[in-house]
Structure formats: C-alpha cells, structure tokens
Amino acid sequence: MPAPYTLRIFLPHGEPDGVRVVTKAGWIGTALVIPRPLLAKTKNREEFARPGVYLLTGPSESGELPRVYIGEGSPVRPRLESHLVQKDFWTQCIFFTASDGSLNKAHIQHLEARLVQLAQRAKRCDLENGNVPTPPLINEAELADSENFLREALSILPLLGVSVFDDAPAPRPPTPESAIGAPHPSAPVELHLVGKGVTATGYESNAGFVVRAGSQAVCDRAATETCPDLVTNLRAELRKLGVLRPVEAAAPEASPLVFTQDYEFNSPSLAAAITQAAAANGRVYWKDAEGHTLKELQDAAADA
C-alpha cells in the first residue's frame, strides 16, 4: 500500500501559474516547473547549474495526447536555452535535480533513458524523442540510487499534471460484498460494455476509467457522423501507437479493433466513446454482470 507523503511547493515570484519549486519531505530531489515565457527570467537560479533530467511538455497540433520531450543536461541550463530557440511545441518545462548536487552524468543519463522507456510503454503522449537513449553502464550502488530518485520523481509528476509515464493502475483486490448496497467497496467492480457488435471490459480508477487489454472497439467505418473530433483524433492516435489494432490484419478498415494493453482514460464516457466511435454516456453504457449501470452503482454507494 502506498505510504503517505508531504510535498512543499514554493512560488518564488508569488504567482500560482508562475515558477514552482517542489520538494518532498525526506528526499534530496528538487523539481522546478517553469512556464516557457519565464525561462529567461528564471535560468540564473542555482538549480540550473546542476546536472538534471527534464521534460518539455505542450499540446499536440493534430491530436489529443500531450507532446513530450525528455532530455538531460550537465548542467541543465545550456540544454534548456537551446530548446528555447530550437523547439517550438513546448509551453512548460519540468526538471529534476538533486539539492545536494549528488546526481552525476551517469545518474541523469540513466534517468533520461528510463523515462523514455516508461513513456513509450505507457503510450499516453506524443513522444518527441526520435531515439531511445541507451542506459549507461553503472555500478550496483549508482543504479539503486538512480532508481530510487526516479521512483520519487514519478510520485511527484502526476501532482504537476503529468501522467504520461503511468501504466493503467491495477484493480485493488476484490471484496466479498456486492457493489449494490455495499457501504464503500474496496475494489472496483468489473464492468462491461456491449454495443455495435463489440464487447469491452473495464473498471473505474482514481483518475478515470481503465479499459482492459483484449477489449474491442468498432472499426473506423462504424463511426457516427456526430462522433466528436476528440474521439476521432484520439482513436487515430491510439491506432498509431499500437494501443488499438485491427482484429483482422487482412481487412483493417472493416475489422473491429482490439486493445493491446490495459489503457486508462480520464472518464468512463471517453472510454465508452472510444469503443463505440460515438458520443457515449459512460455512466449508462458500462454495466456490471447483473446489468446494473455504473450510475446505479455510484448512486447506491452514495446512498449507503
């Protein structure tokens, strides 16, 4: 079970949407969150003179997933100054460094490689990195230090609005109580969606809704004329990333699509819409084995 922890967020300019310095109790790491327009004003801070690993994030031009570039610098400042001139897509930079200066070049190269690997596996962003960095050869102690630093950084990133490294969360262990009438079930109920000739399975998560690997989605030809652009664009991105693949390779345009991995969406409705290629109310479409809708399950839990 995850342990509770405390974060401290310092606003050096006194602006909630400005630069943020984030630290975690008991951790040597420091995260800086910098909007692009404030990089020039901020780059003389001492943290920029240390080795670090960074993310550049921004909106996608043609899709719905965020664009992300992952890099490292020793120190960070010259690399970020270069990206300010050469990369147009990003609107925010987040970088991690060690407050005691203990990160070395091997550490940050390992962190960069691992973050790229995690982003590629999760498939929740449009990754700008053209190549996958090769992790450096480091000894056992440095590897442990790097992985510990990475684990702490990953616990902070979702609180900064970055969830592109997260695999779909596994469901909690089930309890014997029925969802209907149970006061506070400790495990999500497995839900099903059947429509347009396809079947999907999933469950609620803290951040939205997880569709299980092996679930189906309708082919592109089955999309309705009123299918929202968000759904159309996201389906195209998921196909490009390999999250959705045709069941029959010989006729991909007419074949149902299948989820190749568990995938988390930010709402039950978006999850349902992706499977149906149409606007869908997920609280009505997703049902348990007895036919209770997600809305009925939620209402019953609230009443209890």
Shared domain check, 145 and 56 = yes
* pLDDT at position 153: 97
Tell me whether residue 32 is in a domain. Answer: yes
Shared domain check, 156 and 256 = no
Average pLDDT by consecutive 10-residue portion of the chain (304 residues)?
Answer: 88 95 95 97 95 95 90 96 95 96 94 96 94 88 95 95 91 55 60 95 94 94 83 94 86 82 96 95 95 93 81
Reported as a single tens digit per residue, the pLDDT across 16-38 is: 999 999 999 999 999 999 999 99
* pLDDT at position 59: 92
Shared domain check, 148 and 250 = no
Tell me whether residue 236 is in a domain. Answer: yes
Shared domain check, 153 and 201 = no
* pLDDT at position 85: 94
Q: How far apart are CA 121 and CA 106, in angstroms?
A: 23
Q: How far apart are CA 253 and CA 277, in angstroms?
A: 14
Shared domain check, 131 and 44 = yes
Q: Which of 102, 173, 187, 86 is nearest to 144 (CA)?
A: 102
Q: How far apart are CA 191 and CA 195, in angstroms?
A: 14
Shared domain check, 216 and 76 = no
* pLDDT at position 181: 46
Tell me whether residue 217 is in a domain. Answer: yes
Shared domain check, 142 and 19 = yes
Reported as a single tens digit per residue, the pLDDT across 78-109 is: 999 999 999 999 999 999 999 988 999 999 99
Q: Which of 208, 206, 212, 207 is nearest to 190 (CA)?
A: 212
Q: Of the candidates 160, 183, 208, which is a domain's last residue?
A: 160
Q: Which of 144, 147, 138, 52 is nearest to 100 (CA)?
A: 52
Tell me whether residue 19 is in a domain. Answer: yes
Q: Of the candidates 107, 142, 160, which is a domain's last residue?
A: 160
* pLDDT at position 249: 67
Q: Of the candidates 143, 160, 177, which is a domain's last residue?
A: 160
Tell me whether residue 292 is in a domain. Answer: yes
Q: Which of 181, 172, 217, 212 is nearest to 199 (CA)?
A: 217
* pLDDT at position 182: 47
Tell me whether residue 180 is in a domain. Answer: no
Shared domain check, 148 and 39 = yes
Shared domain check, 156 and 29 = yes
Q: Three-state SS string across the chain, please? A: CCCCCCEEEECCCCCCCCCEEEEECCCCEEEEEEEHHHHHHHCCCHHHHCCEEEEEEECCCCCCCCEEEEEEECCCHHHHHHHHHHCCCCCEEEEEEECCCCCCHHHHHHHHHHHHHHHHHHCCCEECCCCCCCCCCCCHHHHHHHHHHHHHHHHHHHHHCCCCCCCCCCCCCCCCCCCCCCCCCCCCCCEEEEECCEEEEEEEECCEEEECCCCEECCHHHCCCCCCHHHHHHHHHHHHHCCEEECCCCCCCCCCEEECCCEEECCHHHHHHHHHCCCCCHHHHCECCCCCEHHHHHHHHHHC
Determine phi and psi for 228, rounding to 5 degrees: -60, 150
Shared domain check, 272 and 145 = no
Tell me whether residue 181 is in a domain. Answer: no
Tell me whether residue 175 is in a domain. Answer: no
Shared domain check, 213 and 152 = no
> How many domains does the chain divide into?
2
Q: Which of 263, 8, 303 is nearest to 121 (CA)?
A: 263
Shared domain check, 204 and 85 = no
Question: Which of left, alpha, beta for 42 (phi over 0: left; psi -120 to 50: alpha)?
Answer: alpha
The range of the structural domain enclosing residue 252 comes to 191-303
Burial annotation 138-175 (CB, 10 A radius, 16+ → b, else e): beeeebebbeebbebbbebbeebebbbbbebeebeeee
* pLDDT at position 267: 96
* pLDDT at position 178: 46
Q: Angle between the 105-122 and 140-156 helix axes, to the nearest 10 degrees?
A: 50
